[in-house]
Every structure is written in C-alpha cells, then in structure tokens.
Amino acid sequence: MFAPKSVAVIGASNRKGSVGRAVFTNILLNEYTGTVYPVNPKDRSISGVRSYPSVQDLPESVDMAVVVVPAAVVPSVTEECGKKGVKSLIIISAGFKEVGQDGAALEHQVSSLAQKYSLRMVCPNCLGTINTDPEVRLNASFASQMPVEGSIAFASQSGALGEAVIDYAAGEGIGFSKFISVGNKADVNENDILEYLRADPKTKVILLYVEDIVDGRKFVDTVTRVTEEKPIIAVKAGVSPEGAKAASSHTGALAGSDEAYNAILKQSGVLRVESIIDLFDYARAFAKQPPPRETE
Amino acid sequence: MFAPKSVAVIGASNRKGSVGRAVFTNILLNEYTGTVYPVNPKDRSISGVRSYPSVQDLPESVDMAVVVVPAAVVPSVTEECGKKGVKSLIIISAGFKEVGQDGAALEHQVSSLAQKYSLRMVCPNCLGTINTDPEVRLNASFASQMPVEGSIAFASQSGALGEAVIDYAAGEGIGFSKFISVGNKADVNENDILEYLRADPKTKVILLYVEDIVDGRKFVDTVTRVTEEKPIIAVKAGVSPEGAKAASSHTGALAGSDEAYNAILKQSGVLRVESIIDLFDYARAFAKQPPPRETE
C-alpha cells in the first residue's frame, strides 16, 4: 500500500483548489517512480495527462486507487475497483461514519464490498499517505507539500492535524520515512500500520496521533512487540472532555477515558507526550539513538 | 503547431540531465492544457506517466510529436508519425545538415518523408517552441524555464541563443507570447513563422535572431506585409567573418554578406539592432505602442 507500482486517482480534477487536483498533482509532481492515471468522467486530460472515464477503462489494472469522489459514489467506485483487480484503496472522501447513521451505513457498505474483493482500504475521511523512499516517492495525499526523506514515520488519525504536522516539520527541516492519515479506520487501523512500520527499514522512530483505539488488547500486544525494536511516541487527543468530543466528531469513534489510555500506553512502552512540539523533540533525539529498552 | 490538443514526446526519458527528460517534464510541469504522452521503448512510465513503446502504440493519434531520438532513428520515427496521422513534428535532435554531407542526406530523407505524409516540421537541431497562452501553456522545448506571458514573440535560429534570451528575459521580467527556435529550417522557415505571428492576436512585437535567410525575395515580401501590422526587430548574426563562420556551423546554412542583409532588412521595414539587450529595449518600447508607420 505504501509502494504501489501504479496508482489511479479516481476523481482527479483540473479545477483549481479541488482535492482531486491536489492529490493528482501531488503524485505527478513529486517524482513518483510508478505510473499514475487520472480517472474523471468529463475531462480528456488532467494536468496534461490522458484521463480515463472510469477505472474499467484504464489500460491496465492498478495496484492502488486513491478515491476523491462524493461519498454516495464511493460504493460503486469500490465495486469497480474490485472488479478491475485493484489491490488497495485510499478513500479520502468524507461523509461516512463521522456524519452520523447514514454515513455509517455507507461506510459499512464500502467495507463489505472491500471484503468481497479482498481490497485493503485506508480511511475513509483521511488526508492520504506519503512515502518519501527515493525508490517510490509517492505523495498520495492532498497535503500542500512533500516532506523530505527522514527516518521518522508519522501516523495520524486526524487529517487536519497531519497536514499541520507536515508543515511544522518542513519549517523545522524534519524528514519523514512514511506519513499516513488513517481516517475512520474502516479497514486498516493503527495496529496494521504499526506492524508495517516495525518491519520498514526506512523507519527508526514511530510517531502516533491517536483519538481512539479500535482494539485495545491487540494494540497493547502490537505496541509491546514494536517497541522492542523501535520507539513509539504518541500524542493522545481528547485529554479534556471538550477534546474527547472533538476527537469523536472527527472520525465518529468514541474516545475512551484519558486514564484508561494512559494506562494502555504506559503498559505497552509508548512514550506519551502532551504536544506536537514535544513529539518532534523526542523524535529527533530518538532518531539518533538505538531503541530505548529498560534492560539497557 | 503552437496549439496542439495532444503531444507525444518521442525519446522521453527518466534519465536526469537528458534532453528527453527536460522536454517531457517541461510540457508536463507547466500546466499544458492538452494531453502529453511519453514514448520510450524501455521504461514503463516516464515521470509517473504511462509510457508507450512507439508512436503506433499510442491510444490515439496526436496533433504533434516532439522528437528527441538519435539522428539515425529520426527517418523511421518520421515515417511512423506519418502513418499514425500525426500532423506536425518538432525535431530537436541534432546531427543533420549542420554536421556535413551525411547529415544533409539524412535531413533530405526526413524532409521527403514529411512531404509524403503532409507533415509540417520545425527544425531539426532546435530548442523547440513555447506558447504561453493560458488556453494552451505548452513548453515543447528543453529551455530551463517557462517564460511568463507577454506580447513579444521571439524566433531564433540558434537554440543556444534562444535559451540565453529566455533566461535574460526572465531576469528582466519580460514576458513572451510565443517562442520558437527554427533550427535548420528543413521545412518551417522564418517566412512561415512571420505569417503565423502576424495573425496571432497574442503577439504585438516580433523579435528575430537570424543567421541566414532561406528565400530573400519571399522574406522581403513577407516582412513588408507583417510590418504594416506589427513591428519586427532583428539581430542578424554573422556581422564579423568569424561570426559568419559560427552562424554557418550552427545550422549548416550559408550566411550572406552583411551588407546584403542590411539592405534587405531596411528595405522591408525591419529595425535592425546590434545586441540582444537592444532587442529587448526596443521590444519593450514597441509593446506599449501602436506599430510604427512612416505615414503616421
């Protein structure tokens, strides 16, 4: 999912200021080493590149599709991707679980289709993913800039915060190995990401911004295993009751009590910090050091 | 030729520093409003865009092809373009008339093929063309930058000088309507260009850098007609015997005597200046004024 050989951007657009334009040009203009196809039912070309009316019209199947179409169309697009043999989806579109019952039903529909076709999915309602590895160079997000290469991976449940972090890191000259905004976690969740990052040779330190945790028991297991190899530093949202409410409205998830999370994080060896600035201060220190172990 | 709806870059490349890469990315990264296809027999994608092994494999015919392959391959590429229904070619490749008899024979072969298929051609041995019109935005050249939009058209027989002029103009904040490097003028020559620019609503002033003139009589006719509507300012190369020799080696053409050219230019209403800086000083003044007529 971080290193596809070909990507389709479904909902790519020529309209200035649109997310469909931002995502397509982010892939196109940042020296992606694979092939990117715009999919748009109206325009003949997007940013100078031949466009295709639908996924089915593409001249080959693609490893990944980034979906930037209205929520109501996402199920039919998911089905088309499944039929075409696409392996993974990043659904950037919002309008799912986070907007209420109708959205949740739509999200469930998309999840069922993904299962039917064995599609892995990031999101919906996310900023996308970024891989700075020179062998890939994929910015499949609508972030306003491509981070420089580095050894820090950042996984954020909030797209808006993710973008702020990319901007902050750029100003500070901090590089990333991977960036991922997980959105509503309809399929891929923090545990999948942590397992991936554990094995990623480009990542030395893992930063998390979490609003809720899907499966607390599995999270503790996963994190305990990962922190034996790489440090994890986390900012947990929702420390105040207002924050918890904000976190809930972002992604439709319920934030647990702060005390419970604190216990989980501490138990599993995660360093919890209070702010994004702290997150990077620690990350920079750890990026230069071997992983912290109590036995050392 | 300045406003094709689709362009193939034959010899597009991922290799840093190559002309094939410069030309393809110049079209791709400068917001061309049409569709650009890379053609390359080896790579699956060029700068993230799906590539095709040959012109025949393209999913549609294209209005124009920019050719950046070794000279020896240009005849077969020209034939393929003709068969595919391509309307015009810009041949950037060098190694024709300017390198001697063998090159001249090759150039003749290419010209015959172009005639056979009714292909119009710019060059060979040129920098390419640029159209800053926001409706088109085509930088089909290997110039290191895209000029800003303006009302000055520049036609240069020397690619190297053309590039220097683009850089100089960028530093001075001077914009162009069209830029064209005519190279060896195997087909399209200064007369064709002048006729086109006369009718171009975006062009107010025409600048020429000439090393030789293919058809003096026709040139006088054309220029006399054009200068009734738009001023032409020219720098003529080869004012010293060394300069004449340099001009000849650039494009294989014979530079006429300086006196003869002076007479031709004066007779037809062209303002001749001695340097590129003078060229732009006059151009800026004229761009703000109606065309100069002796009767006014």
On whether the CB atoms of residues A73 and A91 are closer than 8 A, the answer is no
The CA distance from A64 to B80, in Å, is 34
Task: List Cα–Cα distances, A279 to A152, A196, A247, in angstroms.
Answer: 11, 21, 19
Tell me if B203 sits within 8 A of B179, measured CB to CB: no
From the list B32, B35, B50, the residue facing A59 with the nearest CB is: B50
Which residue in A53, A140, A59, A63 sits closest to B37, CA to CA? Answer: A59
CA–CA distances in Å: residue A250 to residues A138, A275, B64? 26, 18, 49
Chain A segment 79-98 residues within 8 A of B by beta carbon are none
What pLDDT, on the 0 to 100 scale, is given for residue A82?
Answer: 97
Q: Do B48 and A31 touch (CB under 8 A)?
A: yes
A37 touches chain B (CB under 8 A): yes
**Nearest partner of A110 among A94, A100, A124, A99, judged by Cα:** A124
A253 vs B272, higher pLDDT: B272
CB A215 within 8 A of CB A187: no
Cβ atoms of A270 and A223 within 8 Å: the answer is: yes
The per-residue pLDDT for B294 is 46
B22: nearest Cα among B182, B159, B150: B159
Tokens 């009767």 belong to: B295
**Residues of A in Cβ contact (< 8 Å) with B39:** none
Q: Burial-class residue A196 by CB neighbours within 10 Å (0-12, 13-18, 19+).
A: middle
Of all residues in chain A, the one with the smallest CA distance to B138 is A48
pLDDT, position A138: 97
The span from the CA of B116 to the CA of A110, in Å, is: 56
pLDDT band at B296 (very low <50, low <70, confident <90, very high): very low
Shortest Cα distance from A33 to chain B (angstroms)?
Answer: 6
Q: Is B27 on the interface with A (CB under 8 A)?
A: yes
Over the stretch B117-156, which tens digit does the pLDDT of each residue have? 999 999 899 999 999 999 999 999 999 899 999 999 999 9
Angle, CA A224 vertex, CA A219 and CA A229 arms, to 5° = 125
Q: Comparing C-alpha atoms, which of B18, B28, B22, B23 is closest to residue B48? A: B28
Residues of chain A positioned with their CB less than 8 A from the CB of B47: 28, 31
Could you say which DSSP state residue A268 is in?
T
Report the half-sphere exposure of A22 (CA within 13 A, side-chain side).
13
Contact B33 A27 (CB under 8 A): no
Q: How far apart are CA A236 and CA A274, in angstroms?
A: 8
**Interchain pair B35, A27: CB under 8 A:** no
Rounded CA-CA distance A48/B109 in Å is 32
pTM of the model: 0.83
- The alpha carbon torsion through A222, A227, A233, A234 (nearest 10 deg) reads 20
CB < 8 Å to A32, chain B: 48
Contact A32/B50, CB-based, under 8 Å?
no
Could you tell me which of B191, B198, B184 has the C-alpha nearest to residue B114?
B184
Contacts of B27 in chain A (CB under 8 A): 48
Q: What is the pLDDT of residues A158-192, one digit of tens each?
A: 888 888 889 888 888 899 999 999 888 989 999 99
Q: Are B234 and B153 in contact (CB under 8 A)?
A: no
Please list the ranges in chain A whose pLDDT falls under 50. 254, 291-292, 294-296
Residue B213's pLDDT is: 82
Contact A34 B45 (CB under 8 A): yes
Would an 8 Å CB–CB cutoff place A61 in contact with chain B?
Answer: no
Using N-to-C axis directions, what is the helix angle for A159-172 and A276-287, rounded to 10°?
50
Judged by DSSP in three states, A56 sits in helix
> What angle is formed at CA B57 by the lines to CA B53 and CA B62, rounded to 5 degrees?
110
Using alpha carbons, list the distances in angstroms from residue B34 to A20, A62, A164, B119, B244: 18, 24, 34, 20, 40
Determine whether the interchain pair A45/B34 forms a contact, defined as Cβ–Cβ distance below 8 Å.
Answer: yes
Residues from chain A that touch B6, judged by Cβ atoms under 8 A, are 45
Of A211, A235, A214, A228, the closest CA to residue A268 belongs to A228
Mutation test of the interface with chain B: which of A27, A47, A131, A146, choosing the one with the most B Cβ atoms within 10 A?
A: A47
Q: Is A258 exposed, middle or buried (0-12, 13-18, 19+ CB in 10 A)?
A: middle
The full DSSP string for B15-57 is STT-HHHHHHHHHHTTT-SSEEEEE-SS-SEETTEE-BSSGGG
Q: How confident is the model at residue B268 (pLDDT cuts 50, 70, 90)?
A: confident
**In this predicted complex, what is the ipTM?**
0.76
Q: Which residues of A46-83 are buried (b: 16+ CB within 10 A; e: fewer)?
A: bbbbbbbeebeebeeebbbbbbbbebeebbebbbbbbe
Distance (Å, whole) CA A124 – CA A128: 9
Contact A48 B59 (CB under 8 A): no
8 A C-beta contact, residue A58 and residue A50: no
Give the DSSP per-residue string, B153-173.
Answer: EEEES-HHHHHHHHHHHHHHT
Span B98-108, pLDDT tens digits? 899 999 999 99
| CA dist., res. A203 & res. B266, Å (int) | 70
- How far apart CA B80 and CA B30 sit, in angstroms, is 28
Per the CB < 8 Å rule, is B48 touching A37?
A: no
Pick from A169, A177, A233: nearest CA to A207 = A233
Cβ neighbors of A54 (< 8 A, separation 6 or more) are: A39, A41, A80
Distances, alpha carbon A274 to alpha carbons A156, A234, A278, A279, in Å: 15, 8, 7, 8
DSSP string, A12-52: ---STT-HHHHHHHHHHTTT-SSEEEEE-SS-SEETTEE-B
What is the rounded distance in angstroms from the CA atom of residue A188 to the CA atom of residue A212? 14
Around A45, how many Cα atoms within 13 Å sit in the side-chain half-sphere? Answer: 18
Dihedral sign for Cα B284, B289, B293, B295, please. Answer: negative
- Position B248 confidence tier, pLDDT thresholds 50, 70, 90: low
Interface of B with A in 226-285 (CB under 8 A): none
What pLDDT does residue B249 have? 53
Residue A190 exposure: Cα atoms within 13 Å on the Cβ side: 27
Q: Give the chain A residue nearest B60 (alpha carbons).
A: A50
By C-alpha distance, which of A187, A290, A273, A276 is closest to A230?
A290
Report, as an integer, the average pLDDT of B61-68. Answer: 97
Nearest to B284 by CA among B273, B293, B268: B273
**Given this model, what pLDDT does residue A295 score?**
44
